[in-house]
Structure 1
Amino acid sequence: MKMKKALAGALLAATVLASGGVQAQPDKSTLVVGQLQFLTNFHPLIQVNNTKRLVVNYGLRPITAYDENVVNQCVLCDQVPSLQNGLAEVVDNPDGTKGMRVRFTLKQGLSWGDGTPVTTKDVVFTHKMGSDEKIGFSNYNPWSRASSVEVVDDRTFVLVLPEVVSSFASWDQILPVHLEEPIYAANPDAESYTKQSLYNTKPTTPGLWNGSFMLTDYQIGTRLIWEPNPHWPGAKPGLSRVVLSYRDNSSALMQNLLSGEIDAVPVSPGGISFSQMLDIQGQNPDKFSYHIADGTNLERIAMNLDNPILSDVKVREALLLSIDRNAITEALFQGKQMVANGLLSNTSPYYNNGMETYSYDLEKAKALLSEAGWTPGADGICVNGKGDRLTLELATTAGNQTREQIAQVIQSQLSEACVEISTKFVPLQEYNGELARKRQFTGLIMSSIDFSPSTSPRIALGSNRVPNSENKFTGNNFSGYKSEAMDAALDKFDTALSADETKAAWTEIQSTFAQDLPMLPLYFYARAYVSVPDLTDFRQSTYDPLQNFAEEWHRH
């Protein structure tokens, strides 16, 4: 009964509100995108998360990125290296081990927004910073994979890799040496450099941006304005301005979309909820375009495994068995968001059909808690032999209606298994900083993680990716999970050079994950956007941020 009431309440909260305002005549050269969660740190390679990537990549492009067909594309380079085309090769290291040499050539005419050419000097500088443990880059495709950079000329360079890695052809953004090197020299530690970087002190400096757009204006908490980079050598952007317009909550985004104040909005995370999109689609099927595709972005609950309660795998399994994920997705998403059994969706070619999965089973959950020494107390909440209550805090980002709804539903569902949950909704800055990255949560945190095809799951599961003061709080292993078996499987993944090797490694990773449950998988976000119908060439379903291809967007 409690679960039904919670789900009913969640559905009620998602009801479309009436919208007012006068429809303005559209400016076909501008796209106003509604957003939540204003960035408090614009540096592209420090404290990286999905929210940041979906903003910064308008103006600062990675060297390569995956498109909607899971094909790695050159963004800043001429040709993607491969073993077949000879631009990548496996070589013998002096100590007898195997390494790699990977050759890239930057696009002709590539320039920063101030007209300064993008050159191999920028690559060398970025690699230097990315290898500096005092700085602590946390990008998805680490520069530290390379031991050195050999410069051939102003445009061509060779990355020397001391190990064979499957992600050898995937590399993230580079930084402008002419602007950031003096700041780095004067601020050689993570805290001071991050504060003094131009990306945070003067983010509208044209020379910080090398993509098709550059940041020209911003107001903290309110808006970001991206306009074409006049020095971009690729296709001229189809829009003269992209305005990211921020709201405090998803209901305001929805109202402003319906009233015509904004032209497009992402669907959670970072925008309206999926249930809100479904309601808008049901009532306004022809007013907007609905860009929807299967997603890989995993909504999960990380757990602080330093907590003695959560260090017991039986408790973790009981928690997962007590959450009716199918009921949640049916109630909130009409079943259109896929329940997650692990890190990969079951549509992935690497999905492990043989791994253990966990369907809702309240009685089995109660039995596991009993085995772990937790039995219901007088008020229905479990206690152990010492009289300690089975109480955990569940924190997530404030203003995200979907997460707040699900947190409340989970709170209700777990109470039926004698687990007491207190919910906490915190601003994005606090969540990504002190709470998650510095692991100052005591129980559970809910957020998403998305693995590009090139990104190693090590970032969230590796023993050496637990954020701490020694590694400048890099890595996304917020649970503090450490497993020799998982590390061995990750080693196999990181060195795989064929689809068969990758599949075999993923099989081990998923099986070990299912046994240990370092995180509780909930569901996969569908990739979804709602926009005015005249927005075309909108490659919303790319595996890396769609902003990498924003110059293709047009309004007709």
Structure 2
Amino acid sequence: MGVLWAVAIWGGAAGHTWAAGGGIVENGQAVTTAVIASWPMDFHPLTGNELGQFAIKRFVTRPVIDRFDGDQRCVFCTKIPSEADGTLIISRRPDGEQTTTATYTLNPGIFWDDGTEITTQDLAFSWEVLREGGRDLVAGDSRRLNIRDLHVIDKYRFSITYDGAVCGEQLDVPAPLPARLERPIWLADPTHYFEHSLYRTQPGHSGLYNGPFRVEKISTDSLQVVKNGHWSGQTAFFSRVNILVAANQAGLEQKVRAGGVDIFSTLTFDMGQRLAHELGARYDAFYSPSAHMVHLKVNFDNPILSDVRVRKALLYGLNREELVATLLENKGVVAQGLLSPFMAGYAVVTRYPFNPQKSATLLESAGWTKSADGLRRNRAGALLRFELRYRRNYPWIDLAPQLAAAWRTIGVQVDLIEDPQLSGDALDTRQRYLGLVGFAQGFEEGWEATRTWYHSSMIPAAANNWQGNNHFGIHVPTMDEALDRLVAVGCNVDARAAALSELQQVYAENLPTLPLWFGTVITLSDKRLSGTVDRRTSAMASPEFWRLHP
């Protein structure tokens, strides 16, 4: 489920008067936003990876290294470590494995919201919790699994040792924790630290936050954040933000149609586009390319689907351009590989345009011939048949029947199964889901996360202590080799670009999943607002940049 934001201005700045959301509040310095997320809210910087809660936490907590407009920037440090100045060193351990040491320097004069300075002791404590508390307790960025150690040099300088060759977008730093407040709780009972943390028991406590806002009040299914006067970044225009937490998309749409919402953004295309059409007099619509690829995961234990000829035939049997036109109103792009043309590192790869004749040829070569009833069978008389599981939501409720119908024309029988419990990350995934599974997945976590999805060594098993996310059993030797090379080339820009290009081509040739399209994130912004979307990407801007038009 994508993140859906909704915002209602509760007042107006000098010269502005607003009726939406309940009238003028404190000279227009309050704004109300809503997001789909679970409740209660978890504010701890090290826990929770749900998109909705993550979006809410960005109001009050920012990482040491953040990403803006696709670029990596230091928020609390002086610069990104690099080989050029010696702050990034890649070497080999005695066992032959590569290791990377990155040295960081915190900006002096960065503070928690109570005015206490953020120092390396806060980072050291965060690493202590990650290291000693067991990383299985921390459902955060998977790149942290690459961190071997964090070493404090002095009050502002620290180094991190990573497994493997790590650089650029791979660099990650654990979120700092206010050691003076949280360490006594940790020392008293490490086993139950997270449930006793002030982030859980007293989330409005002063000194817990380092972002542009701080938590002031929490009510049932809502919270209030106020401007953090000790935030060193862009000063927020609005003094207060009231955040309403909705359980589902229908609740948010109801708020929008009631007229109390001034900006919202969603990965759910159908709702965004419907409201863009119907409420265009009030909103400007902005379309931002999504990094999430809608695709079909393949159970590699299935003898039919493990044959790459069948997988290629299935793609040739789909008119994906037509699917994008009908389901996305041409606001998306057909996925040819792992990256879209709008993503850094994109390479042109083998393509699979709609070609039923080529599809038929591939299926014949794989031993599947058409019978009188139009369906294909092998020499033993077994049907070319498999299941397709999906959740009853957009786009699958419309897309799945179209896929089944298209493949029926080339002789394939697809059994559609709506599965409200669909997961895809359970250890028994291959036993639960015997054919294809509809998914959308992005690459925000970097290529290290991609490795855990596609490398055969990342198939969870007793031999690797059940590590990895390759739950569908993908085992493509050339894919393993390409992923290994991407790690081995280190930080050389040209070599890394070549390895990434090779990986994309290997993916396209072997189709470990079946790519369908990259979608669009729609942001609707009231015509009276400015600064709500990034000028280059049209994605929703961080809340500290939201303004009223003069």
Q: What is the match of residue 239 of structure 2?
A: 240
Matched, 1:322 2:303: no
Q: CA deviation at 1:370?
A: 4.6
2:52 & 2:408 partners in 1: Cα distance? 32
Cα separation, partners in 2 of 1:110 and 1:279, compared to 1, 3 Å: same
1:506 CA displacement:
1.2
> More deviation in 329-338 or 314-323?
314-323
Mapped pair 1:518 → 2:512: yes
Secondary structure of 2:395's aligned partner: helix
Q: Could you say which residue in structure 2 is the equivalent of 1:211?
A: 211
Aligned equivalent of 1:402: 395
User: Partner residue of 1:10?
Assistant: none
Structure 2 residue runs of 5 or longer lacking an equivalent are: 1-18
Contact kept? 2:295, 2:439, Cα under 8 Å: yes
CA contact (8 A) 1:130 1:142 kept: no
CA shift for structure 1 position 203: 5.7
Residue among 484, 492, 495 paired with 1:491: 484
Partner of 1:13: none
- Give per-residue Cα distances to partners, 1:454-475, cap 9 Å, x unaligned: 5443243233444568878765
Establish whether residue 253 from structure 1 lines up as the match of residue 252 from structure 2.
Answer: yes
Are the counterparts in 1 of residues 459 and 470 from structure 2 also a CA contact under 8 Å? yes
Contact 1:462 1:487 in 2 (8 A): yes
Rounded Cα–Cα distance in structure 2 between residues aligned with 1:554 and 1:454: 32
Matched, 1:64 2:65: yes
Q: Is the 8 A contact 2:287 2:539 kept in 1?
A: no
Aligned with residue 553 of structure 1, among 532, 542, 546: 546
**Paired residues for 1:40-439 under 5 Å:** 42=42, 45=46, 48=49, 50=51, 53-68=54-69, 70-90=70-90, 99-113=99-113, 117-130=117-130, 134-136=134-136, 137=138, 139-140=140-141, 142-161=143-162, 163-167=164-168, 170-176=171-177, 177=179, 178-179=181-182, 182=185, 186=189, 209-216=209-216, 222-223=221-222, 225-247=224-246, 249-250=248-249, 252-269=251-268, 273=269, 275-348=270-343, 350-353=345-348, 355-374=349-368, 385=380, 387=382, 390-396=385-391, 400-417=393-410, 418-426=412-420, 431=423, 434=426
- Does the CA-based 8 Å contact 1:467-1:476 persist in structure 2? yes
Distance in 2 between residues matched to 1:173 and 1:118, nearest whole Å:
13
Q: Whole-Å Cα distance in 1 between the matches of residues 223 and 434 of structure 2?
A: 35
The Cα shift of 1:326 comes to 1.0
Q: 1:367 to 1:236 in 2, by over 3 A?
A: same
Q: CA deviation at 1:510?
A: 0.9
2:437 to 440, 445, 452: 445
Contact 2:288 2:538 in 1 (8 A): no
CA shift, 1:513, in A, is 0.7
Q: Which amino acid aligns with 1:228?
A: K
Deviation of residue 95 (structure 1)?
Answer: 6.5
- Relative to 1, partners in 2 of residues 1:215 and 1:409: Cα closer, same or farther, differing over 3 Å? farther
C-alpha distance after superposition, 1:448-500 (max 9, x if no partner): 32224954432432334445688787654343323343233223323432331
- Name the residue aligned to 1:3: none
After superposition, the Cα gap between the structure-2 partners of 1:382 and 1:99, relative to the gap in structure 1 and judged at 3 Å, is same
**Structure 1 residue 327: deviation in Å?**
1.1
Q: Residue 100 of structure 1 aligns to a residue in which SS?
A: strand
8 Å CA contact retained: 1:34, 1:266 = no
Name the CA shift for 1:301/1:197 in 2 (closer, same or farther; >3 Å): farther
Aligned amino acid, residue 104 of structure 1: Y
Q: Within 1, Cα distance between the matches of 2:368 and 2:473?
A: 23
Q: 1:138 to 1:36 in 2, by over 3 A?
A: closer
Mean Cα deviation higher: 529-538 or 497-506: 529-538
The aligned residue for residue 456 of structure 2 is 463
Moved more, 165-174 or 332-341: 165-174
Cα 1:314/1:196, change in 2 over 3 Å = farther
Q: What is residue 12 of structure 2 aligned with on the other side?
A: none
SS at match of 1:73: strand
Give the direction of change, closer, same or farther, for the CA distance of 1:245–1:90 in structure 2 (3 Å limit). Answer: same
Q: 1:208 to 1:293 in 2, by over 3 A?
A: same
CA distance in 2, matches of 1:89, 1:329: 45
CA 1:47/1:144 → structure 2, altered by over 3 Å: closer, same or farther?
A: same
* Structure 2 SS opposite 1:289: strand
The letter for the 2-side match of 1:236 is: T
Aligned-pair CA distance for 1:78: 2.5
Q: Which moved further from structure 2: 112-121 or 344-353?
A: 112-121
Amino acid of the residue matched to residue 135 of structure 2? Answer: I
Name the Cα RMSD after superposition: 4.1
Higher Rg: 2
Distance 1:413 1:67, change over 3 A: same
Partners of 2:510 and 2:436 lie apart in 1 by: 16
Question: What letter is aligned with 2:508?
Answer: A
Question: Hey, what's the Cα distance between the residues in 2 that align with 1:39 and 1:401?
Answer: 23
1:50 touches 1:450 (CA, 8 Å); kept in 2? no
CA distance in 2, matches of 1:62, 1:467: 30
Moved more, 159-168 or 176-185: 176-185
* Mapped partners of 1:219, 1:352: distance in 2: 49
Q: CA deviation at 1:504?
A: 0.6
**503, 507, 526: which one pairs with 1:509?**
503
* Cα shift at 1:103: 1.6
CA deviation after TM superposition for structure 1 residue 267, in Å: 2.6
Alpha-carbon shift at residue 83 of structure 1 (Å): 2.6
- Match of 1:481, SS? coil
How big is the shift at 1:198? 6.5
CA contact (8 A) 1:34 1:247 kept: yes
Tell me how far apart the structure 1 counterparts of residues 475 and 491 of structure 2 sit (CA, whole Å).
25
Structure 1: gaps spanning 5 or more residues: 1-21
2:516 counterpart SS class: strand
Mapped contact 2:293–2:516 kept (Cα < 8 A): yes
* Equivalent-residue separation in structure 1 for 2:371 and 2:113 (angstroms): 64
Distance 1:443 1:394 in 2: 8
Q: Which moved more, 1:373-382 or 1:289-298?
A: 373-382
State the AA in 2 paired with 1:513.
Y
For residue 171 of structure 2, what is the amino acid of its counterpart?
S
- The number of aligned residues is 520
The answer to which of 326-335 and 96-105 deviates more is: 96-105
- Asked if the contact 1:463/1:487 (under 8 Å) is kept, the reply is yes
